Amino acid sequence: MRSLDHDEALIERLKTHDTPTICNAIEVAQGRRGFDGFTQRTMHWSAPSDRRIVGFARTARIAGRLPPQDPPEVIRSRRMEYFRSMANGPRPGIAVVEDMDGDAAFGAWWGEIHAQIHDKVFGLNGAVTNGVMRDLDDMPQGFPVLAGAIGPSHGFVHVQEIGTPVQVFGMTVHEGDLIHADRHGAVNIPSDVQDTLIAALDRLLSSEAIVLYPLQEGPVDFAQFEALWARFERART
């Protein structure tokens, strides 16, 4: 059984690596190459290039291309229910919000006000969405948003579902899943590798050093490369 100390150690370690490294470490932990639990399209990142976010997902689904059909009081009540859900749950947390309009999405749920609220009121670490963000010059630096598009207006955006499974460019996320994201995209870290992921990261970095360190020292001829690559292949999985 995983302990609280282990969870905290894993979270702290995950913060020190970019998302491609985490994807590679998941393969090491699984003992095979290739998996698909990550975003599978180029996305937009609101924060400095060296920032990354790690946390447990708080999920919701929104739409904004067409006006909502429910009465205004229902829309307002559902929005407050969404806020309440985002304010609860395990921490660190990340909002993972699916725009149900898909590639036709144009209503920005994420802008200065919502980002500030999710950061300063709810204490979340950032957001991942296939939808739209705006107010790029005014977004809080402490709340990175990884979004599918950039646009100028909120359109008719409104909350449709809260706490349900979501899809973000091929990445399926259930509430409570552990997410890592940066400017490259996001990955859902499988629960069955979390106990061994720190060790997998150590093994990954050690195996990559077999090739990288000699290359950093200077030119490597093909015979040397062939020997290095054979050692790397044996070590990486």
Domain ranges of the chain: 1-35+196-237, 38-193
- pLDDT (tens place) for every residue of the chain, 237 residues total: 445 566 899 999 999 999 999 999 999 999 988 899 999 999 999 999 999 999 999 999 999 999 999 999 999 999 999 999 999 999 999 999 999 999 999 999 999 999 999 999 999 999 999 999 999 999 998 999 999 999 999 999 999 999 999 999 999 999 999 999 999 999 999 999 999 999 999 999 999 999 999 999 999 999 999 999 999 988 876
d(CA 57, CA 176): 5
Rg (the chain; Cα; Å): 20
The CATH class, in words, for 38-193 is: alpha beta
Complete DSSP assignment for the chain? ---HHHHHHHHHHHTTS-HHHHHHHHHHHHTSS----B--S--EE-S-TT--EEEEEEEEEEE-SS---S-HHHHHHHHHHHHHHHHSSSSSEEEEEEETTGGG---EEESHHHHHIIIIIT----EEESSEE--GGGS-TTS-EEESEE-S--TT-EEEEESS-EEETTEEE-TT-EEEEETTEEEEE-GGGTTTHHHHHHHHHHHHHHHHHHHHHS---HHHHHHHHHHHHHHH-
**pTM for this prediction:** 0.94
